[in-house]
Structure 1
Amino acid sequence: MFGINGPEFLILLVIGILVIGPKRLPEYTQKLTNIVKELRRMASGAKEQLKEETGVDLNEVDWRKYDPRQYDPRKIIRNALLDDEGGADAAAAPNAVAAAAAGAPAFAVAAAAPERTVERLSAGEKAPFDSEAT
């Protein structure tokens, strides 16, 4: 809390009590109590409004499902590559499943990739220049 540890907070609290004094302390305590009650009322009102608008009760939400620590990008990619409906070749999927079960990485099991054609310039030929590319 603002870089203040326990003993520092207690010292500030004692100094605050001494500065306020015993005459005004009940008044400030009552003001603090009213502020806390108002904040709680506003928070519960916001919860009720959210429940009415979305139809979801916050107490019934499984928050573990939304924990970002549970997502493993490798697992997501592996599942996407092994998914038959994801556009992968149906013939490559059984090989990928077998290789994944054997411990091979999913990217190493891809079906025969189409060959890339690389166009090379002949010796002494200048590279094309596009003045609008920048």
Structure 2
Amino acid sequence: MPGLTFEKLLLIAIIAVFVLGPEKLPHYAAQLARLVKSLKNMASGAKDRLRDEMGPEFNDVDWQKLDPRQYDPRRIIREALLDDEGAAAPVAVKPPTRSRPVESAAQKRLGLAEAGAAAPFDSEAT
């Protein structure tokens, strides 16, 4: 569901007209306008205060670089592994061959190492 589009805003406005009625709608529209204006003033005030506290360094900050939407954990890990200075060439590791199934750490903790043992179930816990 990508963001608010014009059609969605129009639908919300039509619903608001029916729910609030034509006599109350101007009052609530004015309140919404005041709220948006006060939020805008608070944001600009916070930005001005941050600029005052950081000094001239504020203008040197690359805000695009700090955007959390650009961070992809897979890319970060891949770059960290590739940029490792002392990294040797990857070695092919042969998976271990076992005659019995591999036990998970949770199975070992719970004592369910026996093959085919079911996990404990508590009907009152859910």
Shorter-chain TM-score: what band? 0.3 to 0.5
Structure number with higher relative contact order (C-alpha < 8 Å, ≥ 6 residues apart): 1
TM norm structure 1: 0.46
Larger radius of gyration: 1
TM norm structure 2: 0.48
